[in-house]
Amino acid sequence: MTPALTAVEFFSAKLSFETDPADLAADRAAGASPLVVDVRSAEAWNQGHIPGALHMPNAELSERAAELGSDLDRAVVVYCWGPGCNGSTRAALTLASLGHTAVRELIGGFEYWAREGFLVESATGRHRRSPDPLTAPLHD
């Protein structure tokens, strides 16, 4: 019995549909401008979010997707709370179903963005926490 996909095909495809916090931060620092969409609740958004992200809760995403613009090939990165949440997977499926061809999921979500020490924005301003050594090892 031959598998439908080889391991190389599976993992290549997987990497084309997701990104991680470090890669997203590097893309943004290099001038890449993916649209970043937070699909969590208003309460979670107010607690903190990635600076520059758009807030479109999953329940509103289909109706508000036009706000992302008419370029369906533009890179879009969606995120939810963290690895225990499948909201970003649902959002990526919604956007792909609406014709977006370059949608990716932020693995680790907002939790790992914050844990890796990247800038966070909330009602109290912008801040960053010290990187968690289990997610972003300190370098000598």
For residue 124, what is the DSSP state? T
The reply to whether 7 falls in a domain is no
What band does 5 get if pLDDT is binned at 50, 70 and 90?
confident
Structural domain total, the chain: 1
The reply to whether 55 falls in a domain is yes
The chain-wide mean pLDDT, for the chain, equals 93
The reply to whether 88 falls in a domain is yes
CA–CA gap between residue 37 and residue 52 (Å, rounded) = 9
Which residues carry out catalysis? Answer: 80
pLDDT at position 109, please?
A: 98
**HSE on the CB side for 52, CA within 13 Å?**
13
Domain that holds residue 39: 19-127
pLDDT at position 22, please?
A: 94
CATH number of the domain enclosing 121: 3.40.250.10
